[in-house]
A = this chain, B = another copy of it.
């Protein structure tokens, strides 16, 4: 099967990393194809940026859906995921919802650990969107700054482990989610130093997307929206909205 890994950030390096890490969790025969946003910001970290990224995601899927069995929205926070699900006739899975639903089958409550306090509010919105706020033990970040998004998982791994263990101690969280695309692939490297199971979101998303494809794939998409005319949208998106 073919899964589109749609990164709504403009960083192609990040897309490559997500495809590589996600690929390690994939079954034989699953092909991941990465695409990167052509407009927007290099790394989404606020709600206005997420809104723009969500809109761009629709164009990305419109352009590439023809050769995919499912789409992963490859940014924590899942920008555009519900809108995409309404518009396209194929499964669309968010990286953060995949991590959260998976975590909920590993224990009662999950804590999210990420690398910058500026994501807190946005990630809270994202937990609320799943309806699983009652099972969240909170969102935790180290108090230390980082020098580069590209290297943050190496640079901060010690601080992230401490933050995770502190959150477990303080909240009795059963599961840790290491969140944010720049932390992709960190979970398996550090899980033996964290006192509870650790979930890697892109890997969880790959497993969830594969499962949904095996359960029915495009047959599990909702009904089509009525066709609509539009003004000045990219051609592929215009077609999708026109129901062409």
A41-B241, A52-B58, A104-B97 given; A83·B215 CB < 8 A: no
Q: Which of B40, B83, B94, B211 is within 8 Å of A204, CB to CB?
A: B211
**Alpha-carbon separation in the docked complex, A220 to B106 (Å):** 7
- Is A166 interfacial (CB 8 A cutoff)? no
> Residues 194-219 of chain A: 1 if any B CB is under 8 Å from the residue's CB, otherwise 0?
01110110011001101110111001
Assess whether B104 is in contact with A215, with CB atoms less than 8 Å apart: no
Assess whether A228 is in contact with B49, with CB atoms less than 8 Å apart: yes
Copies in the complex: 6
Q: Please report which residues of chain A, range 117-170, place their CB below 8 angstroms from some CB of chain B when the two chains form the complex.
A: 118, 120-121, 130-132, 134-135
Smallest CB gap from A220: residue in B: B197
- Is A55 interfacial (CB 8 A cutoff)? yes
Assess whether A191 is in contact with B219, with CB atoms less than 8 Å apart: yes
**Alpha-carbon separation in the docked complex, A50 to B82 (Å):** 11
Q: Which of B107, B188, B221 is within 8 Å of A85, CB to CB?
A: B107
Q: List 12 A-B contacts (CB under 8 A).
A: A40-B231, A40-B232, A45-B228, A51-B58, A52-B58, A91-B106, A102-B212, A104-B130, A131-B132, A131-B135, A197-B222, A199-B220
Smallest CB gap from A234: residue in B: B39
CB neighbours of A86 from chain B (8 A): 46-48
CB neighbours of A172 from chain B (8 A): 120-121
Q: Please classify how large the interface on chain A is, using the bins under 10, 10 to 19, 20 to 34, 35 or more.
A: 35 or more
> Residues 17-45 of chain A: 1 if any B CB is under 8 Å from the residue's CB, otherwise 0?
00000000101100000000011111001
Top 10 A-B pairs ranked by shortest CB distance? A207-B211, A39-B232, A55-B55, A101-B101, A197-B220, A48-B87, A51-B83, A48-B83, A47-B83, A131-B134
A38-B232, A40-B231 given; A210·B208 CB < 8 A: no
Q: Which of B42, B203, B222 is within 8 Å of A196, CB to CB?
A: B222
- Is A10 interfacial (CB 8 A cutoff)? yes
CB neighbours of A41 from chain B (8 A): 228-231, 241
CB neighbours of A84 from chain B (8 A): 48
Report the minimal beta-carbon distance from A32 to chain B, rounded to whole angstroms.
14
Which of A39, A101, A105, A230 has the largest count of B CB atoms less than 10 A from its CB?
A: A105
CB neighbours of A197 from chain B (8 A): 216, 219-222
